[in-house]
Amino acid sequence: MESTMIVNGYVGHPIELKYTKTGVPTVSFRVATTPRMKTETGWEDGTTTWTTVVCYRGLAEHVANCVHRGDPVIVYGKVRTQAWSDAQGAAHEKLVLEAKSVGYDLSHGAAAFTRGVLRSDPPDDISVSAQPPAESEPDLPEDEFEDAELDEELVAV
């Protein structure tokens, strides 16, 4: 049985696209979730919970191209344990959320979806992190509600 989790919160730091030794695109970022609590004197912030999120392959590339520090996001995925040993040989482990889906939390604002084209090949030197492409304005269709024919059809209905 797999454990899944949904986290919504804010991205805590800039996202950097990297590649594994075998050339698989990957990103890792942390999401901060801070509950608000009503007290006798008003509202107060609770303790912030930080969740580490990892993304692989196409999702990693899309996240690196679109998501920025401070963005409100909703992340869905599988809960995994990462284990490692430090230089002194001490064992460590932490829970991470291996994302299956990452999206903007639209209760905090608006977004426009653009179907992306993924890069097919990692850079020649995969020991160096790749930088996401420069952002550009997406080509959005003109507002269809400004079309006079459409307005007449809407009135006729």
150 vs 7: which has the higher pLDDT: 7
The dihedrals phi and psi of 58, each to the nearest 5 degrees, come to -60, -40
* Residues β-bridged to residue 37: 44
Check pLDDT > 50 for residue 145. Answer: no
**Which pLDDT score, from 0 to 100, does residue 135 have?**
44
Check pLDDT > 50 for residue 68. Answer: yes
Check pLDDT > 70 for residue 148. Answer: no
pLDDT tens digit sequence for 14-45: 998 999 999 999 999 999 999 988 889 999 99
pLDDT tens digit sequence for 84-114: 899 999 999 988 999 999 999 988 888 877 7
Tell me the pLDDT band of 5, cut-offs 50, 70 and 90. Answer: very high
DSSP string for 92-157: EEEEEEEEEEEEE-GGG------------S--S-TTSPBPPPPP----PPPPGGG-HHHHHHHHH-
Tell me the pLDDT band of 141, cut-offs 50, 70 and 90. Answer: very low
pLDDT tens digit sequence for 114-129: 776 665 555 555 544 4
Domain annotation for the chain: domains and CATH numbers: 4-156 (2.40.50.140)
Tell me the pLDDT band of 155, cut-offs 50, 70 and 90. Answer: very low
Tokens describing residue 17: 């696209």
**Which pLDDT score, from 0 to 100, does residue 24 have?**
93
